[in-house]
Amino acid sequence: MKTFLKVFAFNVAVIAFFLWVGNSIPQLRQDPPQELVLAADAPVEDFVKAGQEIFYGKGTCALCHEIGKKGERCPDIAGAGERAEARVKEERYKGKASNGAEYLVESLHEPTLYVVEGYQPSMPALGRQLSDLEMVAMVAFLQSQGGEVTVNGQTRFPKWRGEGGSAAPAAPSAAVAAPAVALSAGAPGADLVQQWGCNTCHKFDSPDRLIGPSLWDIGKRKDAHSIRESILEPDAVVTEGFPPAVMKATLDGNGFYQKVSLHDLHTLVGYLASLKGGQ
Ligand code: HEC
Ligand code: HEC
């Protein structure tokens, strides 16, 4: 009987443990909603596929870049893998990234270090918004465009991701990364426009103009896609009667493009799209 009780208690403990694990993992994974479930030991093809999803989805890369077509504002991504290898050998690039994969990571963290000829240095630094594995996926996908995929789930880019060894932004484990996600998930759109100072230039509760146009009915005038574009690239289409460049410069200055998380960007766009002029 005693043995039975011991076994019974052990089983209860095991079941409780699995229930706990089962409940805690989906919570970590839940947010942001479309997060890819990438494991460090996933095959390289999975990383390429995941990178493609990020490119066309939450990475917002496809907002500017096309594949197989040279854009007026942004370079073609076709052949990016091959070109990355060639770039690092160029004289003007000496002393920076040492191989193609590193060049690609760098172009996401510090786009202005190498500005492609014929283009403006207008690419936002989106690198910080990707987790370590998402960055591997992004690089794998870019390399697969005309080049050889040299990264895998074990690859890390500490030079750009770790800020001189501090673990916080590049935290490799879900457990460490989760609290940051949870925190930002709590901030609703109305708080974000204050946090990033959008409300110093835009009215959200009346049609009055400040430095920028009132946004209280922006959801009636623009869809989510063009709202996202006016935030990421304010000068692509300048609203008539308003000054160009100030929004971009101010947001650059307060680190918005470097620091805003993809999740917050989604929340912000969703919030603006919901504003219909006090109706
Ligand atoms: C707001 C527009 C915009 C967005 C969004 C954007 N880019 Fe760019 N990107 C550019 C521009 C403009 C350039 C060329 C100027 C430069 O080199 O910085 C560029 C350059 C690049 C390069 C260098 C290409 C080369 O031939 O060396 C890569 C790689 C790249 N982008 C990848 C991405 C990825 C991946 C994303 C999404 C995570 C992304 N970009 C998002 C505008 C953008
Ligand atoms: C320094 C002032 C300034 C700040 C800060 C600022 N903006 Fe703007 N914004 C402008 C100006 C000026 C325009 C109109 C010119 C243009 O289209 O670039 C504009 C245009 C826009 C538009 C397009 C409006 C339309 O009627 O089509 C949107 C959307 C927008 N801003 C959102 C934001 C968000 C979101 C933030 C905060 C993350 C922000 N802005 C921060 C000045 C600012």
Ligand 2 centroid – CA 211 distance (Å): 9
**Ligand 1: which residues within 6 Å by Cβ?**
55, 59-61, 63-65, 73-75, 80, 83, 87, 104, 107-108, 111, 114-116, 119-124, 126, 138, 142, 232-233
Total number of domains constituting the chain? 2
pLDDT at 69 over 60: yes
> Are residues 166 and 230 located together in one domain of the fold?
no
Q: Tell me, yes or no, whether 54 and 155 share the same domain.
A: yes
Instruction: Looking at the structure, tell me whether residues 132 and 232 fall in a common domain.
Output: no
Q: Nearest bound ligand to CA 244?
A: 2
**CATH code, 269:** 1.10.760.10
- pLDDT tens across 162-171, in order? 654 333 333 3
Nearest ligand 1 atom to the CA of 61 is 37
Report pLDDT for 196.
Answer: 92
Position 208 pLDDT exceeds 80: yes
Kindly indicate the confidence band of residue 1, based on its pLDDT and cuts at 50, 70 and 90.
Answer: low
The Å distance, Cα 126 to ligand 2 centre, comes to 19
Mean pLDDT on 14-40? 51
Is residue 203 situated within a structural domain?
yes
Among 192, 200, 209, 230, say which to mutate for ligand 2: greatest number of ligand atoms within 8 Å of CB: 230
DSSP structure string for 74-138: S---TTHHHHHHHHTTSGGGTTS--SHHHHHHHHHH-GGGSPPTTS-S-----GGGS-HHHHHHH
Are 218 and 263 contained in the same domain? yes
Model pLDDT, residue 84 = 94
Q: Ligand 2 centroid vs 237 CA: distance in angstroms?
A: 11
CA of residue 232 to ligand 2 center, whole Å = 10
Using the 3D structure, point to which of 141, 172, 203 is the last residue of a domain. Answer: 172
pLDDT of residue 170: 34
How remote is the CA of residue 33 from the centroid of ligand 1, in Å? Answer: 25
**Within-domain flag for 220:** yes
Whether residues 123 and 213 share a domain: the answer is: no
- Whether the pLDDT of residue 244 is over 60: the answer is yes
Cα of 74 from ligand 1 centre, angstroms = 7
pLDDT at 139 over 50: yes
Tokens of 31: 């947010």
The verdict on 167 and 102 lying in the same domain is yes
Q: Which of 172, 207, 242 is the last residue of a domain?
A: 172
Task: Kindly compute the dihedral angle of the four CA atoms of residues 113, 46, 263, 237, in this order, to the nearest 10 degrees.
Answer: 50
Instruction: Report whether 145 contacts 78 (CB < 8 A).
Output: yes
Residue 153 · residue 42 · CB < 8 Å: yes
34 domain-assigned: no
Percent of the chain past pLDDT 70, that is, above it, reads 78
Name the residue with the closest Cα to ligand 1, atom 35: 61
pLDDT at 113 over 50: yes
In ligand 1, the atom with minimum distance to the C-alpha of 59 is 38
Q: Is residue 20 part of a domain?
A: no
The string over 231-242, giving b where at least 16 C-beta atoms fall within 10 Å of a residue's C-beta and e elsewhere, is: bbbbeeeeeeee
**Cα radius of gyration rounded to whole Å, the chain:** 22
Q: Is the CB of 230 under 6 A from ligand 2?
A: yes
User: Percent of the chain, pLDDT > 90?
Assistant: 39
Same domain, 200 and 164: no
Residues 133 and 220 grouped into a single domain? no
Cα(75) to centroid of ligand 1, in Å?
7
Q: Mean pLDDT of all residues in the chain? A: 79
What's the domain range around 125?
44-172
Please say if the pLDDT value at position 183 is more than 90.
Answer: no
- Which among 184, 192, 190 has a CA at the least distance from the CA of 263? 184
Q: Residue 6's pLDDT is what?
A: 62
Residue 114 is assigned to a structural domain of this protein: yes
In a domain, 204, yes or no: yes
pLDDT of residue 162: 65
For residue 219 and ligand 2, the question of a CB distance below 6 A is answered with: no
Does residue 223 belong to any structural domain of this protein? yes
**Do 51 and 160 lie in a common domain?**
yes
Model pLDDT, residue 167? 34
The answer to whether the CB of 247 is under 6 A from ligand 2 is: yes
Q: Does residue 21 register a pLDDT over 60?
A: no
CB 243 within 8 A of CB 201: no
